[in-house]
Chain A
């Protein structure tokens, strides 16, 4: 069955510290992988996506993610977190050319001064 697991419900980091949000997926075909961010009261904004090619992908706002097929993971990273990065982060997986995507339950990020 297709699923996405985000093991960390909530993470707190200090401003300027590095960040890694975990995402593991279960998918029967070649996965398309996404990370979205949601600020309070807002919809989801696409941070980055992986379809094929280089397994390290760069996104907006200084985020990057690495696809590791052997570990079925697509972890999101940022070298130095800013207070404005506090939000909810969602990982999603889908199929090439498909239109149904499966989302994780999200990781809530708090940034402390």
Chain B
């Protein structure tokens, strides 16, 4: 257990479904992140939240919608996904300015 908990660990969803990924940290960190990890590609930063405010949105399609209700929780809402969205979605947190991430174990998403 790293201090960053992601649920569910595995998710299979149809292209017309709506689902949400959850991330929770109790490390006292003030920044949270969503990353996408696909095979043979660098980790792709999707969203960044500093003190609950979104500061980065790296050209992510609108079918991915983040939500950060407080500094300990982060959600990724999914709707009308495509098969190419199948990947491992990693949540991370850090304390600015010290930096350095603590990652969760990820959610393995399969879109069918």
Q: Interface of A with B (CB < 8 Å)?
A: 4, 32, 34, 36, 41-46, 49, 51, 90, 94, 96-106
Contacts and interface: CB of A to CB of B under 8 A. Distances in A.
A46 B102 contact: yes
A43 B90 contact: yes
Nearest to B35: A103
B97 A43 contact: no
Contacts of B100: 32, 34, 46, 49
Interface of B: 2, 4, 6, 31, 33, 40-43, 45, 48, 50, 55-56, 90, 92, 94, 96-97, 99-106, 108
Given A43-B92, A104-B42, A105-B40, 16 more contacts: A34-B101, A36-B101, A43-B4, A43-B6, A43-B104, A43-B106, A44-B90, A44-B101, A45-B2, A46-B100, A96-B97, A97-B96, A97-B97, A98-B99, A99-B48, A99-B56
Contacts of A34: 100-101
Contact of B94 (A36, A44, A96, A99): A99
A96 B94 CA distance: 13
18 contacts: A41-B106, A42-B105, A43-B2, A43-B4, A43-B90, A43-B106, A44-B101, A46-B100, A46-B102, A97-B97, A98-B96, A99-B48, A100-B45, A100-B56, A101-B45, A101-B101, A105-B41, A106-B42
